[in-house]
Amino acid sequence: MKNIAIVGVGLIGGSLALQCRKKGIASHIIGVDNNATHSTEAVALKLVDEIQSLEDAVQHADAIVLAVPMNALVKLLPTVLDMVNNQIVIDMGSTKSILTEAVKNHPKRGRFVASHPMWGTEYSGPSAAVDGAFENKAVILCDTENSDAYAVDYAKELYTKLNMHIIEMNAIDHDLHAAYVSHISHITSFALANTVLEKEREDKAIFEMASAGFESTVRLAKSNPDMWAPIFMQNKDNVLDVLNEHISQLRKFKSCLEKENWDYLKELMSQANQIRRIIQ
């Protein structure tokens, strides 16, 4: 398609814009963003060709990609669907059940494809856009049976050109799996950062003594709260489920140390080593 509108030109939307230009996916890229600074940066960095209002962007685009925080997305999607005729609408949000439920009876539901590219960094804003983002990562397409065939075909073509591995599943299953492989990682990182900041009062000591292992574990704590708080809220039940299991596992390690049960401690770590079967 010639014209693509990207609503939200931060990390995800900006990185998508870079790839759309680099791979020739769109000849003209329109940006939409309520943040005036982000709008200026997106044009200056040549992520987008121009900034337009939402109404103008929808009118001038062949496809509209929504890359805004989840709390805004749930309100934005029905509004955008109200505006479209034959245009295709794709979202890039991290939760799906509430979003698909919000438009299940919309007369233009078929124009919409729910997707979740499994990629991101701890940074935000247009300047955080990454050249080569999404390469060899998974993207989840949800409830495709509720989308028009040509819309699904376009979404698959888009993500194939981004060199992503396409997986289809229903929205409920997506949210459950996302809680276990993505959302808990961020909560754990936020909690670990708060633990260290609470107990270690010397910034210099943290900086000088923090190992590479600590840095990689706590990296996600630098993520934008405005993006992640709505994700946790919308996927609350699944996040609570995985969080309860995580707390249970932490208690096992705590008990081993308190009771000096070194054999069971080693057993717990050996069990954890089985993750090598999945992640190299």
pLDDT in the model for residue 208: 73
The amino acid sitting at 176 is: L
The amino acid sitting at 220 is: L
Residue 218 has pLDDT above 90, yes or no: no
Strand order from edge to edge, sheet including 63-66 = 50-51, 28-32, 3-7, 63-66, 88-91, 112-117, 138-142, 165-169
Q: Could you read off the pLDDT of 75-113 as tens digits, one per residue?
A: 999 999 999 999 999 999 999 999 999 999 999 999 999
Q: Which CATH class is domain 3-170?
A: alpha beta
Residue 1 has pLDDT above 70, yes or no: no
Architecture of domain 174-277: Orthogonal Bundle (1.10)
Q: Could you read off the pLDDT of 20-71 as tens digits, one per residue?
A: 999 999 999 999 999 999 999 999 999 999 999 999 999 999 999 999 999 9
Q: Report the C-alpha gap between 65 and 18 in whole angstroms.
A: 14
Q: Where in the chain is the domain with CATH 3.40.50.720?
A: 3-170
Structure-token match 């990609």, residue found: 65
Q: Where in the chain is the domain with CATH 1.10.3660.10?
A: 174-277
Phi-psi region of 24 (alpha: psi -120 to 50; beta: other; left: phi over 0): left
